[in-house]
Amino acid sequence: MKQNAKTPGIWNPLPYFDTVHDDHQLGNIQSISRFYAAAKHGTLPAVSWIVPSGAVSEHPPDPIHKGVAYVTGIVNAVMRSKDWSSTAIFLAWDDWGGLYDNVVPPSVDLNGYGLRVPGIVISPYAKQGYVDHQILSFDAYAKFIEDDFLDGQRLDPLTDGRPDPRPTVREDVPILGNLVSDFDFNQAPRPPMILPTNPKTTLVRARHPLHHRSRVRVRAPRIITAAQT
């Protein structure tokens, strides 16, 4: 089935949410072209949640480079926007690559935390070269948004009047860190760093002298974010 903003599925779960229907928010689920247009005209909403389609999700069997180009294009669009000076981008993955994680997740509640996944903060006010060692989860993104735009109001099963099976309000658990620590709002805002969406690769194909098999040599990759200069 062809994917679009109105097609529910694993890449577009919001149409499945009863709360989205009850609050008449289906119209807020829009195509990525609307995001690009808003960035171009400097009219980005206060909060945007962007989820890729399967083809650019970096999931097998699709190539990773398509997902990299997709994300880079989005970040570039925001950096070229006049909204860049007041924007924070949280780039996150919901999978860990299928490899073994030697760290046992910390105990938080009945549901618990999962395996570690990467996260990158991109903003003119992100601390340069900073590695955050706090315990964080996807709840930290919700906490940051709620603190910034809702004066700390939480989605609390005891007060929001909706059926909610969560054992805790995850944004308020003591173990959760605060993403505000990733920013320095007193520093001079750094200018955009526009990156190529399809940079030249360092992959080199070579033939092994003993086994006569095609091998691929990969030079050590570097992750570059807007928090670096």
Q: Is residue 227 part of a domain?
A: no
What pLDDT does 214 receive? Answer: 38
CATH number at residue 95: 3.40.720.10
24 vs 45: CA distance, rounded Å: 17
What pLDDT does 213 receive? Answer: 41
Under DSSP, is residue 160 helix (H, G, I), strand (E, B) or coil?
coil
Decide if pLDDT at 209 tops 60: no
What pLDDT does 86 receive? Answer: 95
- In this structure, the number of other CB atoms found within 10 A of the CB of residue 115 comes to 14
Q: Is residue 89 part of a domain?
A: yes
pLDDT tier, 206 (very low <50, low <70, confident <90, very high otherwise): low
Ranking 119-133, 154-168, 171-185, 201-215 by mean pLDDT, the lowest is 201-215
Single out the residue of 120, 126, 116 nearest to residue 141, CA to CA.
Answer: 120
- Average pLDDT estimate for 6-23: 90
Give the residue, 19 or 89, on which the prediction is more confident.
89
CB within 8 A of 80, min separation 6: which ones?
39, 40, 192, 194
Q: Is residue 104 part of a domain?
A: yes
Q: Is residue 11 part of a domain?
A: no
- 182-210 as b/e: b if 16+ CB within 10 A: bbeeeeeebeeeebebeeeeeeeeeeeee
Decide if pLDDT at 39 tops 70: yes
147-153 contacts at long range (C-beta below 8 A, 24 or more positions apart): 147/180, 149/46, 149/47
47 vs 161: CA distance, rounded Å: 24
What pLDDT does 205 receive? Answer: 60
Per the structure, the count of domains in the chain is: 1
What pLDDT does 211 receive? Answer: 45
Give the residue, 120 or 102, on which the prediction is more confident.
120
pLDDT tier, 92 (very low <50, low <70, confident <90, very high otherwise): very high
pLDDT tier, 229 (very low <50, low <70, confident <90, very high otherwise): very low
Q: Is residue 65 part of a domain?
A: yes
Highest mean pLDDT, choosing among 65-79, 151-165, 194-208: 65-79
Q: Is residue 80 part of a domain?
A: yes
pLDDT tier, 1 (very low <50, low <70, confident <90, very high otherwise): low
Q: Is residue 22 part of a domain?
A: no
- 226, 124 Cβ separation under 8 angstroms: yes
CA 214, chain centre distance (Å): 36
Q: Is residue 228 part of a domain?
A: no
Decide if pLDDT at 28 tops 60: yes
Structural domain boundaries, residue 181: 31-198
What pLDDT does 69 receive? Answer: 96
